[in-house]
Amino acid sequence: MTKATYKDAGVDLDLYQKAMSSIHPLLAKTHLAQKSRVMDLPGGFAGLFRLNNPEQGKSGRNYEDPVLVSGTDGVGTKIKVAIEAGIYNTIGIDLVAMCVNDCLCLGAEPLFFLDYIALGKDDPDRLVDLMEGVSKGCVLSKAALLGGETAIMPDLYGDGDFDMAGFCVGVVERNQILDGHAIQAGDVVLGLESSGFHSNGYSLIRKAVFEMAGLGIDDPIEELNQRTVGSLLLEPTRIYTAAINSIYESFPDQIVLSGLAHITGGGLVENVERILPANRRIEMKKSAWEVPALFEWLQSLGNIDEEEMFRVFNMGIGMVAIVRADHSKAVQEKLQASQISTHILGKVTEGEKGVALV
């Protein structure tokens, strides 16, 4: 009688262990920014992290009344583009960015990150590439990659398929939670530039690029400096940790930021409106920044209405910071020093709650 084995069923534990041995150094890189707070636990079933810093000044901050902030997300059908291109070492940056940028919006210091990766079959090389991106994203976020899970699920996923999910935990002092209540009339609305499409709207992007225009993943785009379709669509999501931290570090004892919004699905209007208190209104001028050419290229390919473009995509603005007017110039200078171009999109006024693009 034939004996069944896990390997015959589609899961090779030896290949899995091979991948794990290559992944441990990628985890170790992410622990440097939080070195004194990550606790060693060889062989543990979970990760340990000290909330307060035992070596003051070495890494992170200490808190009197800490509140944990959590966020989770994935990268959507951008994964399909990575599979088509055969490029797997950047999509993990997107995964970290989508979670960390959300946590930043509450004023949180990112602490640690967890990942979940599911594959249709054992593929150590692909797994290591995916984890390389996650590791780099955590380094950019100053968040320790504390643990995760890899699942091999034949029959549920095709041989070449995979999916990813991420989970970020941060912390903020209770009296410094950035929930928008401090937004007041006269505050200046700054737009921080995105690095491209980030990780939203890829079902529409793929329909316009591959289905309607019939382009291939390796086709060069003449109007975008001959960049290939794959390199353009796989540009990683920008992580804003260093830029936002530079503001807190420069003005530790002052209320400078009154609100932050991560511009994801829903665009500028819906995401900024979420953080506005009652009786606060913003009119953003479309003329305040130049929409990057890649969005115009996509709009033309898919014959997409401008209203739909602004509703689905970030249109070149990946995060919005609402700042006190008397500090707006200094904040802009700090952001520029962090290699983040910014634009004054408008001002907060009194009026019916809402955001308008004019």
Cβ atoms < 10 Å from Cβ of 295: 19
pLDDT of amino acid 32 = 85
Same domain? For 57 and 127 the reply is yes
Q: What pLDDT, on the 0 to 100 scale, is given for residue 59?
A: 54
Question: Tens-digit pLDDT profile for the chain (358 aa)?
Answer: 778 888 878 888 777 777 777 888 888 889 888 878 888 877 778 888 888 776 655 556 678 899 999 999 999 999 999 999 999 999 999 999 999 999 999 999 999 999 999 999 988 899 999 999 999 999 999 999 998 999 999 989 998 999 999 999 999 999 999 998 999 999 999 999 999 999 999 999 999 999 999 999 999 999 899 999 999 999 999 999 999 999 988 887 678 999 999 999 889 999 999 999 999 999 999 999 999 999 999 999 999 999 999 999 999 999 999 999 999 999 999 998 888 999 999 999 999 999 999 8
Alpha-carbon gap, residue 323 to 251, rounded angstroms: 12
pLDDT of amino acid 255: 80
Structural domain of residue 68, as residue ranges?
Answer: 13-176
CATH of the domain at 327: 3.90.650.10
Q: Extract the tokens encoding 47.
A: 């990760």
* 341 and 238 both lie in a single domain: yes
In this structure, are 89 and 214 located in the same domain?
A: no
What is the domain count for the chain? 2
Q: Which of 288, 313, 299, 82 is nearest to 188 (CA)?
A: 288
Q: What's the full length of the chain, in residues?
A: 358
**286 in a structural domain:** yes
Around 163, how many Cα atoms within 13 Å sit in the side-chain half-sphere?
A: 13
Q: Does 235 share its domain with 101?
A: no
- In this prediction, residue 62 carries a pLDDT of 75
Query: Which among 293, 90, 314 has a CA at the least distance from the CA of 197?
Result: 314
258 and 169 assigned to the same domain: no
Residues 166 and 203 in one domain: no
Closest by CA position to 98, among listed 258, 265, 257: 265
Coil, strand or helix at 327 = helix
The residues facing 305 across adjacent strands are none
Residue type, 169: V
What is the C-alpha radius of gyration for the chain, rounded to an integer number of angstroms?
22
pLDDT at 19: 76
At residue 321, the 3 state secondary structure works out as strand
Same-domain status, 66 and 202:
no
If asked whether residues 340 and 248 sit together in one domain, one would say yes
Distance CA 330, CA 335 (A): 9
Residue 356 CA from chain centroid, whole number: 25
137 within domain boundaries: yes
Q: What is the pLDDT of residue 53?
A: 72
